[in-house]
Amino acid sequence: MLSHSQIRHITSLKQKKFREKYDEFIAEGEKIVLELIQSNYILSGIFTTIPGTKACVEEAQEKRIPVYEITNREMERISGLSTPGPVLAVVKIPPAVVTSQSTLIRSSPIDRRTSSLLLVLDDIRDPGNLGTIIRIADWFGINPIVCSENSVDQFNPKVVQATMGSIARIKVFYRDLVSFLKEFQGTIPIYGTFLKGENIYTSHLNPSGMILIGNESHGISADLHPFITTRLRIPSFNEQPGAESLNASVATAIVCSEFRRRYIL
Amino acid sequence: MLSHSQIRHITSLKQKKFREKYDEFIAEGEKIVLELIQSNYILSGIFTTIPGTKACVEEAQEKRIPVYEITNREMERISGLSTPGPVLAVVKIPPAVVTSQSTLIRSSPIDRRTSSLLLVLDDIRDPGNLGTIIRIADWFGINPIVCSENSVDQFNPKVVQATMGSIARIKVFYRDLVSFLKEFQGTIPIYGTFLKGENIYTSHLNPSGMILIGNESHGISADLHPFITTRLRIPSFNEQPGAESLNASVATAIVCSEFRRRYIL
């Protein structure tokens, strides 16, 4: 049985200030929890409504992660989902990600020598979008992702959920994007997605570069525009006036797909 | 001021059975409501917390749509959003869409003579996914969409929201997909997205065809497999074992982008 303080602790992790206080976040669902167990993340505990038969409970026990059997009622209390699954994990936020500035900006996350793409997200606010973008990055082998400091927290439960386990593999850093882009200016192409720009299907795309994705409503902030070397546009094929834009994660998917299609095949 | 029965009526429209009973649905947000006013949809009324200055209130008045000024508190009661916007519309479900079978299956929604793509969705359950796919279809000029009968309802408020107004332009039909695909078998290529199949980037893609997208967890139902003429796969570029799949709306976006890229440019 869970104590009141355990329940209070776990539910507090739905809020960013408590995730920062305890350096922990929650992840739900068998697939996501299993992938976290198999990753470098350290799990503080696993809470399950189903006794030891499930794959992730077995793996957790092998790795000496404490497993707590709880009732459905208790799961409903600690879960953030409207229909809770059978497994919830409390996971340590790795120290590298906690480190907020300085150190990591020096160990630049992009390798200037090899073909590599980097996703840079300016002020993505919707947790579903960030989670979906992390999953897209995982699919297209783009790692890490750099977010502006006002973007939604990667350890927000809805982000973790939408990554479908990709959170276990993709690193996400939060940076002041003006100083971050300044550091790379002139060394690597910086692509930005806009409603007006070069047609992405016919434009020259470098195998290495940064892909800058803007906020859901306002696009890329004006103070980042000077750093952009190529403005790309996903052309609309609607002959009548139609959709004015694509969802941020959908645009990211199309752009990543087009960059990868050109250079890895 | 809204009467109790008005509030009860509007909130009931969040449920499918009442949308079917009253042939009405709700749409929220200025952009979506404005696009509905400008479309062929018939609006029963507009509820706004802001007096007549806004564009969609003016357009509504021009079109003689009743406009009700309501308080923020009333808006909170009728809205389905956690942070309600200033405008909510009650919209008539068009009779063509209400007609559940027979008539429309005869007036086939795909033109066999011209270059045209049709999206066929097998059991899409997540409202955000369906809404996003409608928005993608609008961007890529793909209209209509055919859904299996167990797919989420297009007039679910979360679907309407996620379309960002594209619901005003894209027609969505619900059909028994086995009999629907049977009708087209042998006349047009039917593409299905799978984890194993031809690499979409290098596969021959016909300018006309159906693109079949599967359920979020289970993919395309086994009983539809015999109708598929080409199995397509979006290749993963992750060299380590990574994401096992892409979100259904993301996969749809990449597939539509690739089809359109090849033939319209």
The amino acid at residue B150 is: N
pLDDT at A55: 83
Three-state secondary structure readout of A189-247: CEEEEEEEEEECCCCCCCCCEEEEECECCCECCHHHHHHCCEEEECCCCCCCCCCCCCC
Cβ contact B165:B205 at 8 Å? no
pLDDT at B20: 94
Round to whole Å and give the CA distance between A230 and A177: 17
What's the pLDDT tens digit per position in B14-30? 999 999 999 999 999 99
Q: Which of A141, A237, A245 is facing B238, going by the closest CB pair?
A: A141
Fold type of domain A4-93: 60s Ribosomal Protein L30; Chain: A; (3.30.1330)
| A193 in reach of chain B (CB within 8 A) | no
Sort out which chain B residues have CB atoms less than 8 A from A246's CB and list them: 135-136, 139, 253
Round to whole Å and give the CA distance between A47 and A171: 25
Give how far Cα B263 sits from Cα of A255, B190, B208, B258, Å. Answer: 18, 17, 10, 9
Tokens of B136: 């993608």
Q: Provide CB contacts within 8 A for B83, sequence distance 6+.
A: none
pLDDT at B52: 59
Give residue for tokens 């869970």: A2
pLDDT at B105: 39
Selection from B31-35, B68-72, B250-254 with the highest mean pLDDT: B250-254
What's the pLDDT tens digit per position in A54-80? 788 889 989 999 999 999 999 999 999
Distance from CA of A22 to the nearest CA of B (A): 28
The parts of chain A modelled with pLDDT lower than 70 are 51-53, 96-115, 264-265
**H helical segments located in B164-211:** 177-184
| B81 in reach of chain A (CB within 8 A) | no
Model pTM score: 0.91
| B217 in reach of chain A (CB within 8 A) | no
Tokens of B49: 């917390």
What's the pLDDT tens digit per position in B50-62? 865 578 888 998 9
pLDDT at B168 over 80: yes
Give residue for tokens 């690739």: B258
What's the pLDDT tens digit per position in B100-159? 443 443 444 554 444 589 999 999 999 999 999 999 999 999 988 999 999 999 999 999
Round to whole Å and give the CA distance between B257 and B253: 6
- CA B193 to centroid of chain Cα atoms: 19
Neighbours of A99 (CB within 10 A): 12
pLDDT at B7: 95
Residue of B nearest to A31 (CA): B244
At residue A94, the 3 state secondary structure works out as: coil
| B173 in reach of chain A (CB within 8 A) | no
pLDDT at B57: 86
Q: Provide CB contacts within 8 A for A100, sequence distance 6+.
A: A174
Contact A140 B265 (CB under 8 A): no
Q: Which of B141, B247, B257 is facing A254, going by the closest CB pair?
A: B257
Cβ contact B143:B170 at 8 Å? yes
Round to whole Å and give the CA distance between B108 and B173: 11
Mutate which: B257, B259, B262, B263, vs A, most A CBs within 10 A: B257
Residue of A nearest to B264 (CA): A237
**Per-position b or e across A4-23, b if 16+ CB within 10 A of its CB:** eebeebbeebbeeebbeeee
pLDDT at B103: 40
A97, with CB counted inside 10 A (0-12, 13-18, 19+), is middle
Give residue for tokens 């690597």: A188
Residue A148 has phi, psi (to 5 degrees) of -65, 155
The domain locations on chain B are 4-93, 103-264
- Quote the percentage of chain B above a pLDDT of 70: 91
Contact A169 B242 (CB under 8 A): yes
pLDDT at B89: 96
Tokens of B196: 């194993």
| A175 in reach of chain B (CB within 8 A) | no
DSSP-derived pairing of the beta strands B24-28 and B43-48: unpaired
Tokens of A35: 């992938």
Q: Which of B132, B246, B265 is facing A139, going by the closest CB pair?
A: B246
pLDDT at A112: 45
The amino acid at residue A188 is: I
Q: Provide CB contacts within 8 A for A197, sequence distance 6+.
A: A230, A231, A232, A233
Round to whole Å and give the CA distance between B65 and A218: 31
Cβ contact B19:B98 at 8 Å? no
The residue-averaged pLDDT of B240-254 equals: 89
Sort out which chain A residues have CB atoms less than 8 A from B238's CB and list them: 138-141
Cβ contact A154:A148 at 8 Å? no
The strand pairing partners of A46, in sequence order, are A67, A89
The top-level CATH class assigned to A103-264 is alpha beta
Round to whole Å and give the CA distance between B218 and B224: 13
Contact A164 B260 (CB under 8 A): no
Contact A139 B253 (CB under 8 A): no
